[in-house]
Structure 1
Amino acid sequence: MSYDLDGVEQLDYAELKEIFDQKKSSPILIDVREPEEYIERHIPNVPLIPMQSIPERIEEFHKDAEYIFICRSGTRSHHVALYFKDNGIENVKNFAGGMLAWESETESGWEGQVRDIEGLYSKQT
């Protein structure tokens, strides 16, 4: 069950799985781990935007979109959510357990790092 930490809603596995299974374009799920971690194991079709690249790209994100961040354990993704809020993007959530808590299907290999942030929004229906 979700809870609040530092003003960021924390989602558990069941909540994220329900969102993932709906296959809707919103909220936008983003993996913020390092490429090596992503290649090893990631949630299918969830794009990678490494945490360290976000500060230089924060202005590219739409302020009115909804985002859920994913990392290994939920710590880095929580920090990304806080960073988004500090930069005026309020509708953010964190997958509290991270990939350690993800019990469903995964992929390995490279699906690709997001190079064009606008591409995140072109998939919206």
Structure 2
Amino acid sequence: MASRRTVTQVLRAASRIHLQQPVATVRHRSTIVQQSPFLTKPSSSQLLLRTTVRAYSQASQESKIWSFEEIQKLSQEAKPSVTIIDVREPGELQQTGHIPHAINIPINSAPDSFHITPEEFEDRFGFPRPAKDADVVFYCKAGVRSRGAAGIARDAGYTKVGEYPGSWLDWFEKNGKVER
């Protein structure tokens, strides 16, 4: 979340912008925003909404999307060539289990995980941090947190990032093998 100071600076800069043409209609979740050609000072919600949509759409385009079948094949390998990362909280894993060979890096309680040193990472989680040039695929319960984790990993310099958008719900529904 942006700090109050950052938002204030952005809004001040936006107040100096005079739109000559209408901005296209933008759909974000269930909200639609269309700016008028006469609007010279967008509201903070319109400005932040436009920024959010742009960042959201870029993040989803850069990840490789993995299917159930691909994850299932990967989970059956003795030593998977891709690191499967479960970003749910440890309590969720205790209740449901996880995909075989997946490591747990909870994104809500440890959002800085991909930005800390390898030593700090290993101290915190008990296993080495995946290399920045290694293939990694993220999943969570329903695909929302995994998308965020993929963006965080890319921001930290990871280049081969993937997402399993069906995540745990899809895995469980299709009777994927579960480890506890």
TM-score by length of 1: 0.74
- For 1:58-86, what per-residue CA distance to the aligned partner results, in whole angstroms no more than 9, with x for missing partners? 34342111111110011111111111111
Amino acid at match of 1:76: R
Amino acid at match of 1:43: I
Please, which runs of 5 or more residues in structure 1 have no aligned partner? Answer: 109-125
Contact 2:75–2:99 (Cα < 8 Å) also in 1:
no
Between the two structures, name the one with larger relative contact order (CA 8 Å, sep ≥ 6). Answer: 1
**Identity of aligned pairs, percent?**
30
RMSD: 1.9
State the match for 1:32 in structure 2: 87
State the match for 2:25 in structure 1: none
Please, which runs of 5 or more residues in structure 2 have no aligned partner? Answer: 1-58, 119-128
TM-score by length of 2: 0.53
CA shift at 1:56, angstroms? 4.3
Which structure's CA Rg is the greater one? 2
The answer to whether 1:49 aligns with 2:105 is: yes
Counterparts of residues 4-83 of structure 1 (less than 5 Å): 5-41=60-96, 42-52=98-108, 53-59=110-116, 60=118, 61=129, 62-83=131-152
How many pairs are equivalent? 105
Distance 1:56 1:9, change over 3 A: closer
Structure 2 CA distance for aligned equivalents of residues 80 and 69 of structure 1: 7
The DSSP-based 3-state class of the residue aligned with 2:152 is helix
The DSSP-based 3-state class of the residue aligned with 1:69 is strand
Distance 1:32 1:95, change over 3 A: same
State the match for 1:117 in structure 2: none
Structure 2 CA distance for aligned equivalents of residues 57 and 83 of structure 1: 7
